[in-house]
A = this chain, B = another copy of it.
Amino acid sequence: MNVRPSLNQLGLSTGKKTRLYRILHQHGLRNGTAIFLPYDHGLEHGPRDFAGHPESGDPKHVLKLALEGGFNGIAIQIGLARKFYWEYAGEVPLVLKLNGKTDIPAPPDPLSPVNATVEEAVRLGADAVGYTLYVGSPAQERDFAQYLRVREDADRYGLPLIVWSYPRGAAIDAKGGRDSFYAVDYAARAASELGADLVKVNFPQPDKQSGVPEAYRRGFSSQEAIDAVVQSASRTLLLVSGGDHAGDEVMLEKARQSMEAGATGLIFGRNVFQRSHYESLRLVAQLKDILAKYPS
């Protein structure tokens, strides 16, 4: 188990520390942990992600869920932020997601193009910005260039930068896939070396060993894997993603192991909103019970 670093250790500017303090200590459980609600599925996958629960397609409904559930922040694209956030401005922190893409074409060199700016995030009163980095994509050159501009702007305005660090591309597929311990560990470290303040990763799967480097084939347990990932992220705060729908018990166990490993929190989307309002709130309560055990 690792000790979660304090905000004072992270080399943060005053602006970034102010906003991270607000997110971690003045919202949610106010104990230094966090649970975020990402809601960019309409762009990333299309409205099909709302099938079965049509109210989940209504941004107003999801914003209310973020409020009622006591989330530490909601991560949305510029269009929804402008049209819907004004009604709830300040009530729940806004994480403006700065890039995104549709999943219609499936290019060999995935890249998530920027569609909003840090300046717009400031203008909207956001407390953080989000950027998806496709670690391992052959588009690395263009991705890093685009990322650099975002990171510089986030620094200039003092907004914490959350990197969605996602392993992608044929080389990743050939080396254990996007959720292998190897891929997730590398993604966490890359985001850290590249200057992310927080990094969102999927829970690592140490049993995916086909094609991964020798060092990852030693029969690690889930707990050992997530421990190592938190260490690799070093002073970059780690958020663990809910990923695809899994059974609730499996999901809660992963959340527990993540927090045990020193993660700062969770970022759960479809797992939360693809159920009835009541069920959503019940799951969130369970997740917050876990977070409550890991104050910092």
Binding site for B on A (CB under 8 A): 9-11, 40, 42-43, 46-48, 51-52, 54, 57-59, 76-80, 82-86, 100-102, 104-107, 111, 113-117, 120, 135-138, 140-142, 144-145, 147-148, 151-152, 155, 167, 169-172, 175, 182, 185-186, 189-196, 213-216, 228, 231-232, 234-236
Q: How far is the CA of A215 from the CA of B207 in the complex (A)?
A: 33
A193: chain B residues within 8 A (beta carbon) = 40, 42-43, 76-80, 100
Query: Can you offer 26 A-B residue contacts whose CB atoms are under 8 A?
Result: A11-B86, A40-B193, A42-B232, A43-B190, A47-B228, A47-B232, A48-B216, A58-B234, A76-B193, A77-B193, A78-B194, A78-B195, A79-B192, A79-B193, A79-B194, A82-B195, A83-B236, A101-B141, A102-B136, A102-B140, A104-B171, A105-B140, A111-B141, A114-B145, A115-B194, A120-B152
A107: chain B residues within 8 A (beta carbon) = 138
CB distance from A29 to the nearest CB of B (A): 25
Residue of B nearest to A9 (CB): B83
- B57 close to A147 (CB less than 8 A): no
Q: A11-B82, A234-B59 are in contact. Are A114 and B48 (CB under 8 A)?
A: no
Residue of B nearest to A40 (CB): B193
Q: A100-B193, A113-B140, A236-B79 are in contact. Are A106 and B47 (CB under 8 A)?
A: no
Q: How far is the CA of A171 from the CA of B107 in the complex (A)?
A: 10
Per DSSP, chain A at the interface is helix
From B52, B172, B194, give the contact of A43 (CB < 8 A): B194
CB distance from A217 to the nearest CB of B (A): 11
- A102 close to B135 (CB less than 8 A): yes
Q: How far is the CA of A1 from the CA of B9 in the complex (A)?
A: 48
- A48 close to B213 (CB less than 8 A): yes
- A102 close to B190 (CB less than 8 A): yes
Residue of B nearest to A124 (CB): B11
Residue of B nearest to A10 (CB): B83
Residue of B nearest to A78 (CB): B195
- A79 close to B186 (CB less than 8 A): no
- A101 close to B11 (CB less than 8 A): no
Q: How far is the CA of A78 from the CA of B192 in the complex (A)?
A: 9
Q: A104-B169, A138-B105, A186-B46 are in contact. Are A57 and B231 (CB under 8 A)?
A: yes
- B105 close to A195 (CB less than 8 A): no
A77: chain B residues within 8 A (beta carbon) = 193-195
